[in-house]
Amino acid sequence: MTATFTPAEGGCDCGAVRYRLTREPLFVHCCHCRWCQRESGSAFALNALLETGCVQMLRGEPEWIDTPSESGKGQRIARCPACKIAVWSHYAGAGDALCFVRVGTLDEPARMPPDVHIYTASRQPWVILPADQPAFEAYYSPKALWPPRSQQRYRALVQARSGAEDA
């Protein structure tokens, strides 16, 4: 991503929920864990991570579904109340401050290819990983991979969140 990011729009299948990303993602995960495979009904989940404040609602409001996760902390999935398509989620670790936007719900999903492949130990054997992209059998260190500007944004998010908890 570049400093000249242009907003990206997306939504559900029926059009009842539409959103705009006003900022480039911090990072894009392609997760191959069995939980993501089951939840997506596919071989992996492709999520663009960004601050929730950077997701602007254009139409409708999603319904929230609490689901279990492998960590045991669960996740909240934002789904269209009409067609039930998952448009993003919040994981317990970051709470509602960090959004995991389903890249496939973007109007132009090719704009946000994965930056990293994670939990590849459970990837489907017919999924061939690109040789030029980082891949990890489990998770990875964001400090080692995220660009400095993404790390700065994440630190600001954590600081704002801990300040809000102290209030």
DSSP one-letter string for 56-117: EEEE---EEEEE--TTSS-EEEEE-TTT--EEEEEETTTGGGEEEEEGGGBSSGGGS--SEE
- CA-wise closest residue to 139 among 24, 19, 29: 29
The pair of structure tokens assigned to 47 is 């999520």
Range of the domain at 55: 8-166
The CATH code of the domain that includes 126 is 3.90.1590.10
Q: What is the mean pLDDT of each run of 10 residues along the chain (167 residues)?
A: 81 98 97 92 96 97 88 87 97 86 98 97 96 96 96 92 63
Helix (H, G, I), strand (E, B) or coil at 48: strand
Spatial distance between the Cα atoms of 148 and 143, rounded to a whole number of angstroms: 8
Q: Has residue 1 been placed in a domain?
A: no
pLDDT at res. 70:
73
Q: What is the pTM of this model?
A: 0.91
Q: Has residue 3 been placed in a domain?
A: no
> What is the tally of structural domains in the chain?
1
Amino acid identity of residue 51, one-letter, is E
